[in-house]
Amino acid sequence: MRWKRTIQLLDVHCEGEIGKVAIGGVPKIPGNSIAEQLHWLNTDPKGQELRRFLVLEPRGAPIGSVNLLLPAKHSEADAGFIILQPDQAHASSGSNSICVTTALLESGIVEMKEPETVVTLDTAAGLVRATATCRDGRCEKVRLTMVPSFVHELDVGLDTPQWGRIKLDLCYGGIFYALVDVGQIGLKIEKANAAALVQAGMVIKEAINRAMAVVHPEISAISGVAYVMFRDIDADGAIRTCTTMWPGRADRSPCGTGNSANLATLHARGKAKVGDVFKSRSIIGSEFEVGLQAETEVAGKPAIIPTITGRGFTFGLSQVALDPFDPMAEGFAMADVWGPSAGDI
């Protein structure tokens, strides 16, 4: 073959959300920390080229992420990783952490020990500790101890031409979220409304990032609202979520970082305390357990340590390659499947 570049991908999904894991052929990423590597991927043309190569057509697809498996920079970690999506490289993700843990254990990169294996992941947002329940060579479920989550601001008012003035919470759960009670836009979180929810999420995300700047007080590489997550309460008390992702799709999982951010709002409002465990349900009905493990601080701000428990499943193994004569090496996206903002990619 005359391929210029090849990368091996282990196909994994977490509760329906695809998080492919690049386990071979990943080029060296400059940086002395995962946060510095994240910054390089988002600012250097070669970093952006790698992301586009893996996530855009004709090699990629709108649904899911690609996780770059990297050598850990932290002495306590087993592996590092960074999440690649169409808009940029991202610092943290609960569903992708579960996909990466499952990939590491079921591929043998990290030795699986039964009945439980602890895997420490080095991310740009900090260390994520994954406790995997293992049996018969399979990773049955993963409990993540997430990075500290905190409220940036509650009840932020935002004027919109479509829905008038709405309120949202700006919170951090590994990345920044705008959390919106879905009733304010006249919709319910169900599969039939996925397209309408995504369109609303894109409008709100653009408006809030235009109106407000958010930067992590200790990690400058993490800034801006990455996602809008709509939330509701099901009849059984479960938290129903729909995280909307640029340029135009809905997270299939309940969303680990989004639920971490939302848990920080419940704690701040006195609706959650240490030891509480909540059920969160996605737009397709898959579930996470969300727990409040401890209270802490980030740069003097009250914060919490959340836990997220879910399942990952491997479903394939593939190799992505680049023909040096391919005129579409940079990748592309089309509005028919990527959403109305695809022309901006």
Cα torsion for 85, 86, 90, 92, to the nearest 10°? -30
**Residue 144 backbone phi and psi in degrees, to 5:** -95, 135
Contacts of 186 (CB under 8 A, 6+ apart): 163
As a whole number of angstroms, the distance between CA 232 and CA 281 comes to: 10
Is 93 a residue of the active site?
yes
As a whole number of angstroms, the distance between CA 330 and CA 345 comes to: 11
Helix H or strand E segment including 46: helix 45-55
Phi-psi region for residue 263, left (φ > 0), alpha (ψ -120 to 50) or beta?
alpha
Is 14 a residue of the active site?
no
Pairing of strands 225-233, 239-245: antiparallel
Degrees, nearest 5: CA angle 164-184-250: 115
Pairing of strands 301-310, 287-298: antiparallel
Q: What is the DSSP letter of 332?
A: B
The one catalytic residue in 93, 253, 260, 341 is: 93
The one catalytic residue in 99, 139, 171, 255 is: 255
**Residue 68 backbone phi and psi in degrees, to 5:** -80, 115
Of 214, 215, 218, 213, give the one whose Cα is nearest residue 299: 218
The residues with which 215 forms a beta bridge, in sequence order, are 223
Contact, 182 vs 230, CB < 8 A?
yes
Maximum Cα–Cα distance across the chain: 61
List residues with catalytic annotation: 93, 255
